[in-house]
Structure 1
Amino acid sequence: MTAPDQIPGQEYDYEALPSNHGLGRNMMAGAFAGIAEHAVMYPVDLLKTRMQILHPTTGGLYTGLTNAFSTIYRIEGWRTLWKGVSSVIVGAGPAHAVYFGTYELVKELAGGNVDQGHHPLAAATSGAAATIASDALMNPFDVIKQRMQVHGSTHKTLMQCARSVYRNEGVHAFYVSYPTTLCMTVPFTATQFVAYESISKVMNPKEEYDPFTHCIAGGLAGAFAAGITTPLDVVKTLLQTRGLAENAEVRSARGLFNAAAIIKRQFGWSGFLRGMRPRIISTMPSTAICWTSYEMAKAYFKRQADR
């Protein structure tokens, strides 16, 4: 599929970052992609969080993904599946704007747009830099989101939850999981970007705007990266929801290694795989939506700039 408005016989260098294509437009495309991704896949993300809680209340104990969905829908109502979505909508726009803006900037500086060749190192470097920058902005919103997602949470709004966490646990609570988040998202993003660039090169060697390619490549890259980083995601969830835990040891979790030790001691190695299925199921379409939305917005802005 070729890009709309492409002049016959003219090469449409889609992936490269033209000199007349400002960073601001990449950031706008990233914001659009982030909001679209998180809003559409939010219910599955909520199920993942519920299933990763180590010591849930009686009403929050589930036997599987289908059971979790049906139980929440039957007992708490369908609106519960969207509880906390305001946090990711508010945070995802700016965070993804920084994410993709950093990605494009570092990719250009690292030589990822030099020619039509494959540049996995540039892709991994730009992906790692992008997640370090965006997670610094998104981490507090992620903490608020998961506090609102937990079964039995009394938090009703974004601001009420933020004030409660700050008043009871201090500003440290918003960033206690940041090192763990980076330990997970840096390899996740680096792996995802390398996989995405590699799959895209194979499926779309001409680097034309092709929504099908972007969707499939994004989904496969996200699923692979999600699977191998699930253990760190479980640790992150424990740290971000520790303030609501009923178990005293979990409430006292201090950081990455201490949280990992608690999981190993209480649940064994299988504890690190909690929520893997919903994580992959949610990540695969969410990264497909994210990349497709980003590339679509990016193509639109490039067409506008070329006119």
Structure 2
Amino acid sequence: MSARPDKLGDLVVVVVGASSGFGRGSAIKLAAEGSSVVIAARRKHMLDEIVSEIESGGGSALAVEADVTDPAQVSEIAKSAINQFGRIDVWINNVGVGAIGYFWDIPIEDHSRLIDVNLKGLIYGTHVALDQFIIQGYGTLINTGSIDSEVPLALQNTYAATKAGVLSLSRTLNEELRLAKMEDIKVGTIMPWAVDTPWWTHAANYTGHEPRMAMMDDPEIVVDAIVRSCLRPKEERPVGWKAKASDMSHHLIPDLTERLSANIAKKESDRGDPRSFHTGAIHEPMLDGMGMDGGIRARMKREDAND
């Protein structure tokens, strides 16, 4: 049994969902601090670019192509990490796709896709990580949730449900680890406010308007929170003053907080530029005038599982 490293420069970190967004930023920042990073996603060419960037700066990184919805491929991430570095100190589950709109306007296959990626994919990563941590006797699991994990947000229905599941799983695991006297294994959840990342353009959009949210945060504060959690994980870590205020408000006045949040979400949606809609059988929305392909569901399937 190895001792838990207490410096970022000594860590071996797996980042699942590292091709863009928080995952990419976290991998680069951890490597700059001296961590050995294993980055995983579906888009291997983007992972290879990140590895080249890290290695050119003197860091150490390994890219593993994997789809989080396939448990066998998730297991291969861990095997590759062990073969290369001998252990895993931190596993970061940074997976997520979205669909925006009234629940009944979103096709059932999109609801299913969100569950496959956001919840089942995260569960597969969690299971693999804990298997390794139990062998080692220590480890830190970081799950990327959302303020939606605590405050259910209108027009993000199934997305919010999956993120609530992420937080519930993390809470439950910490209690089970306590009962099993495995308290050197920690599980933390990162809970950002709406952040200015590609999520908004990758999400399936059934609102009829450009997807948006009020006062979006800079992704850098989320990356910093993930990096801090590698050494000092918290079961719940709301990121930024808006997420912290929303989290506190929901604990004190849950019904009012949910109603106000819903009103804000609807107002922001209505302010977005109108979108035209595909009139085919699956009613795929279109991205007019943005230089992007029309079918957002096709975009989800190409780019979603590990962004």
Settle same-fold status: TM greater than 0.5: no
Q: Which has the higher strand share?
A: 2
Q: Which has the higher helix share?
A: 1
Q: Which has the larger radius of gyration?
A: 1
Higher relative contact order, structure no. (Cα contacts within 8 Å, ≥ 6 residues apart) = 1
TM-score (norm 2): 0.31
TM-score (norm 1): 0.31
